[in-house]
Amino acid sequence: MIRPFPSARLRSVNRPALLTLTGAGLFLAALDAYVVVTVLVNASDPRASILTSLNIPVNHFERATPIITGFLLGYLAAMPLAGGLSDRFGRLRIFSLCMTLFALGSLLTATAPSLGQLVTGRLLQGAGGGALVPAVLALAADLYPAGNRSPVLGAVSALQEIGSVLGPLWGGLIAGMLGWTWIFWINLPLAGLILWALWPQMRIAGEPTQPAHLDWLGVGLATAGLAFLTLALYAANPEQSPVGEGFLWQAPLAVVFFALFVWRERRAPHPLINVRRFRDSSFSGSALTNAIAGAGLMVALVYIPVLANAVFSMNATGAALLLLRLMVGIPIGALLGGWLAQQLRSYRVVAAAGLILAAVGFLLLSGWNEGSLGPHLLGSPIRVADAQLFLTGLGLGIEIAPVSAALLDAVGEAERGAGASFLIVMRLIGMLVGFSLVAGFGLWAFHRATAQLIPPVGLNPTAYALYIVQFKQAIFDEYHLIFRATAIALVIGALLAAATLRPLPRPRWR
């Protein structure tokens, strides 16, 4: 749990400069959260394709899954630690350490000759980037008093969201011009510049160290549970199974670690999470709803660019621009969802409506074929596909504010900071677990559909053309299955929100 750092000297520094520099680091890390989704596959430019560089064929996309989940796992593992470590050693010291770790991960990723090193690099990037979030938020709380803190915290959070939205486009543009490795090479001078500019402020701040309570055992148990769950759901051989080969022993072991984590948190004097809050239906419903929405977002982030590259033959920039249609809808939906919840005085109605809207969007996307990017909406310059993508993002965005507010109302003021961190963690868990599960079953269905397809031998253009048509149809069938399964999950999330979220509290007039 993060608490303000009690240093009077810290408030004597140049506060705008300090927040600008640390915010720049947070923005840089946020860019890399989803930066790879538009450069995993690129049929037109091998330099912009990670799979091509690592000699991974597109029909074995499952091998690229750890590139996505590795970052998320590192992000999840580091986030609970960062607040306590910054309490102990100081915000700026931990920020600098995290930026260095992020830069090291970028170096390993940029120079990776193999999938193993690339995944390791992404894991370190995620750990460094994830730890930056609570450290920078806590720093902002230290620098500004309670009455003036909310706008600053909102600006810091907005930086992270904007970075996440722009990440896929940034990756596509850089990969299209210079190649995908330059996405990570660029991080090195930028991180170095931020640390160099921050050094004088660190000397002025002169942060002392102090004792801090950190539940290392709880962190270890939660990380072990997440790691075994990820392994259990990772379908390394989807031709045989939609889940991992060790699912039968890894999944039970993950459950054991999670049970031990709950047992530990119930008895720890300073728990990472107050697990007793799960008795509150509004708290548990909000957490699970946010996880389901996270899973839906991750499916869109990964599979829309891959579909754009593999079937529509777009380059990395084109795939990023296609995904941007969906991403633009998320912040607009987030603002709209907050306004609607306030006007309608209902968290559950707005959250459920947003998830239903997103489910409708995924159902529409599940009907895509090779000609889906052509038709325009009522003769306007806007394509039907663009509207469908925007609708999906809008629905995912509308869910954010009412679900977040419902959970934070449930925990109360004393645990509001920990509740906000827990919301982020649950969304990331949904992205990690939901993506692994949906991807595994989708790839399993794809390999079953293509098992009888054999590339023609010889120079027979008719046979080759027929093979390409059948192969592309198998890809579409895979995506149709994945998007429909995601739509069903979002409907379940809508029902959960409608059943569990409490009404909006009445305003108190003074």
Could you report the per-residue pLDDT of 215-270, keeping only the tens digit for each?
778 878 887 887 788 778 766 666 666 677 788 888 899 899 989 988 988 888 77
- CA dist., res. 261 & res. 263, Å (int): 5
Residue 32 above 50 pLDDT?
yes
Bin 2: left if φ > 0, else alpha if -120 < ψ < 50, else beta.
Answer: beta
Residue 58 above 80 pLDDT?
no
Instruction: State the amino acid at position 388 in one-letter form.
Output: Q
- CA dist., res. 321 & res. 238, Å (int): 30
Q: In this structure, what token pair is assigned to residue 87?
A: 């309490």
The pLDDT assigned to 354 comes to 95
- CA dist., res. 333 & res. 335, Å (int): 5
- CA dist., res. 139 & res. 367, Å (int): 47
What is the rounded average pLDDT of the residues 260-282?
82
Judge whether 115 and 54 are in contact, CB under 8 Å: yes
The pLDDT assigned to 445 comes to 67
Of all residues in the chain, the percent with pLDDT exceeding 90 is: 19
Q: pLDDT tens digit string along 392-409?
A: 999 998 888 788 878 877
Q: pLDDT tens digit string along 427-454?
A: 878 887 776 776 676 667 666 666 666 6
Q: In this structure, what token pair is assigned to residue 286?
A: 């909000």
The pLDDT assigned to 397 comes to 86
- Among the residue ranges 69-73, 344-348, 415-419, the one predicted with the least confidence is 415-419
Residue 92, C-beta contacts closer than 8 angstroms, at least 6 positions apart:
18, 22, 139, 198, 201, 202, 205, 207
What is the rounded average pLDDT of the residues 448-476?
68
The pLDDT assigned to 223 comes to 78
The pLDDT assigned to 3 comes to 41
The pLDDT assigned to 212 comes to 56
- Three-state secondary-structure class, residue 375: coil
Instruction: State the amino acid at position 332 in one-letter form.
Output: I
The pLDDT assigned to 121 comes to 94
- CA dist., res. 225 & res. 345, Å (int): 38
458 versus 10: the higher-pLDDT residue is 458
- CA dist., res. 449 & res. 436, Å (int): 20
User: Quick one: pLDDT band at residue 206, thresholds 50, 70, 90?
Assistant: low
- CA dist., res. 494 & res. 430, Å (int): 15
What is the rounded average pLDDT of the residues 84-91?
72
Residue 186 above 90 pLDDT?
yes
- Three-state secondary-structure class, residue 376: strand
Residues 484, 486, 488, 490, Cα dihedral to 10°: -140
Q: pLDDT tens digit string along 356-371?
A: 999 999 999 988 887 8
Is this structure's pTM higher than 0.85? no
Residue 292 above 70 pLDDT?
yes
Residue 316, C-beta contacts closer than 8 angstroms, at least 6 positions apart:
38, 39, 42, 45, 48, 49, 171, 172, 173, 175, 176, 180, 309
The secondary structure of 185-198, three-state, reads HCHHHHHHHHHHHH
DSSP 274: -
125 versus 64: the higher-pLDDT residue is 125
- Among the residue ranges 53-57, 216-220, 341-345, 411-415, the one predicted with the least confidence is 411-415
Closest CA to 481 of 338, 307, 284: 307
Rg (CA), the chain: 23
Cα-Cα-Cα-Cα dihedral sign, residues 359, 362, 367, 372: positive
- CA dist., res. 499 & res. 478, Å (int): 32
- CA dist., res. 365 & res. 339, Å (int): 27
User: Quick one: pLDDT band at residue 386, thresholds 50, 70, 90?
Assistant: very high
What is the rounded average pLDDT of the residues 306-318?
76
Give phi and psi for 55, each to the nearest 5: 60, 40
Q: In this structure, what token pair is assigned to residue 107?
A: 């170096």
230 versus 97: the higher-pLDDT residue is 97
User: Quick one: pLDDT band at residue 5, thresholds 50, 70, 90?
Assistant: very low
What is the rounded average pLDDT of the residues 65-92?
75
User: Quick one: pLDDT band at residue 147, thresholds 50, 70, 90?
Assistant: very low
- CA dist., res. 23 & res. 309, Å (int): 33
Judge whether 366 and 487 are in contact, CB under 8 Å: yes
DSSP 213: -
The pLDDT assigned to 191 comes to 93
Residue 272 above 60 pLDDT?
yes
Helix 461-500 and helix 281-310, axial crossing angle in degrees, nearest 10: 170
Mean pLDDT, the chain, integer: 79
The pLDDT assigned to 271 comes to 75
Closest CA to 285 of 72, 1, 492: 492
Residue 305 above 60 pLDDT?
yes
Residue 210 above 90 pLDDT?
no
The pLDDT assigned to 362 comes to 95
Residue 460 above 80 pLDDT?
no
Q: Which residue has the tokens 């022993």?
A: 249
Residue 109, C-beta contacts closer than 8 angstroms, at least 6 positions apart:
117, 118, 121, 122, 125, 184
- Among the residue ranges 172-176, 304-308, 364-368, 466-470, the one predicted with the least confidence is 466-470
